[in-house]
């Protein structure tokens, strides 16, 4: 447990995107045990029932990140102690999730455009170009989501200041989000290994059944498939907790605010 005066971390400080990524993930992983002790109610519920409990998960995570920004360290708290903070964050966390859900079809369209030229026999660079155009157009909203989640700035001002900060730091944000996407793909691949095994076994059995073979799957196969999905959900949500500290540092490196004297150098 950290106490006031020990290892204070200055969140609002100019950093490179590499520094934000590495220091944030390192800090989150270092305190993962404490974070899981605090986050376990929403984490378990979100693994089992992503909707609607992902809103609870987001509010609980944003509440502890705000404490980190305010204090410079992660207090060893419980859900009961943080109840008011979570309630305070709930509406803004919900807005960030809704914005992310609205952006998801656009992101999927970008991925589809990346793959489509290969399927249609067109030049691959057309797909790459379309993907990067969509990716760049979405970047400003990333900063807007950070502004809403990590501050009490009025929503209208979050959009204005978020878009302004995004266009002033477009290259930095692009590099950070690109590396973040690679990081997420690696974590998703590793966490999804059980699911990939179960899916491949089920697909192979289904193909054999179409060719006239007996559908020979274990009686517990549905249970294995369910467990594989739950493992994947848990890995993604735990990784999101760790990675959220990198996003918080990225936001802290962008906001135009002078640190107070109580904040120590990291």
Kindly state the average pLDDT of the residues 166-179: 87
Cβ atoms of residues 35 and 74 within 8 Å: yes
Q: Cα–Cα distances in Å, from 55 out to 42, 135, 211?
A: 9, 25, 45
Per-residue pLDDT band for 242 (boundaries 50, 70, 90) equals very high
Indicate if the pLDDT at residue 266 is higher than 50. no
pLDDT of residue 120: 66
Indicate if the pLDDT at residue 131 is higher than 80. no
pLDDT of residue 7: 66
Q: At what angle do helices 221-254 and 32-48 cross, to 10 degrees?
A: 130
Q: Cα–Cα distances in Å, from 36 out to 39, 44, 73, 114, 241?
A: 5, 10, 16, 37, 9
Q: 157-166, long-range: CB within 8 Å, 24+ apart, which pairs?
A: 165/254, 165/255, 165/256, 166/139, 166/140, 166/141, 166/142
Range of lowest pLDDT (37-51, 69-83, 208-222) = 208-222
Indicate if the pLDDT at residue 208 is higher than 90. no
pLDDT of residue 130: 74
**Chain-wide mean pLDDT for the chain?**
83
pLDDT of residue 38: 92
pLDDT > 70: percent of the chain? 87
Per-residue pLDDT band for 207 (boundaries 50, 70, 90) equals confident
pLDDT of residue 215: 66
Q: Where are the domains of the chain?
A: 17-254
Question: Model confidence over 26-36: pLDDT tens digits?
Answer: 999 999 999 99
More reliable by pLDDT, 94 or 3: 94
Cite the DSSP H helix spans in the chain. 17-30, 32-48, 50-71, 83-120, 124-150, 155-168, 170-191, 193-210, 221-254
Report the alpha-carbon distance of residue 209 to residue 178 in Å, rounded. Answer: 42
Is cis: bond before 52, omega within 30 of 0? Answer: yes
């Amino acid at each position: 447990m950290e106490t006031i005066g020990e290892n204070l971390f200055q969140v609002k400080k100019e950093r490179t995107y590499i520094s934000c990524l590495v220091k944030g993930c390192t800090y989150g992983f270092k305190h993962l045990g404490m974070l899981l002790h605090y986050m376990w109610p929403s984490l378990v519920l979100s693994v089992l029932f992503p909707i609607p409990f992902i809103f609870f998960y987001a509010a609980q995570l944003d509440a502890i990140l705000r404490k980190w920004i305010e204090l410079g360290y992660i207090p060893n708290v419980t859900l009961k102690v943080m109840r008011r903070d979570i309630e305070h964050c709930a509406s803004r966390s919900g807005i960030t999730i809704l914005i992310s859900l609205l952006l998801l079809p656009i992101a999927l369209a970008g991925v589809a455009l990346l793959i489509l030229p290969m399927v249609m026999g067109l030049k691959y660079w057309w797909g790459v170009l379309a993907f990067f155009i969509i990716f760049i157009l979405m970047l400003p909203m990333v900063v807007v989501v950070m502004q809403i989640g990590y501050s009490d700035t009025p929503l209208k001002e979050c959009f204005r200041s978020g878009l302004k900060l995004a266009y002033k730091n477009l290259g930095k944000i692009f590099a950070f989000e690109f590396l973040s996407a690679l990081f997420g793909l690696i974590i998703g691949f590793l966490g999804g290994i059980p699911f990939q095994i179960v899916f491949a076994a089920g697909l192979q059995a289904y193909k054999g059944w179409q060719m006239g073979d007996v559908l020979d799957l274990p009686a517990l196969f549905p249970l294995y498939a369910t467990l594989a999905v739950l493992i994947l959900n848990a890995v993604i949500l735990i990784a999101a907790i760790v990675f959220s500290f990198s996003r918080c540092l990225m936001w802290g490196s962008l906001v135009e605010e002078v640190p107070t004297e109580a904040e120590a150098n990291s």
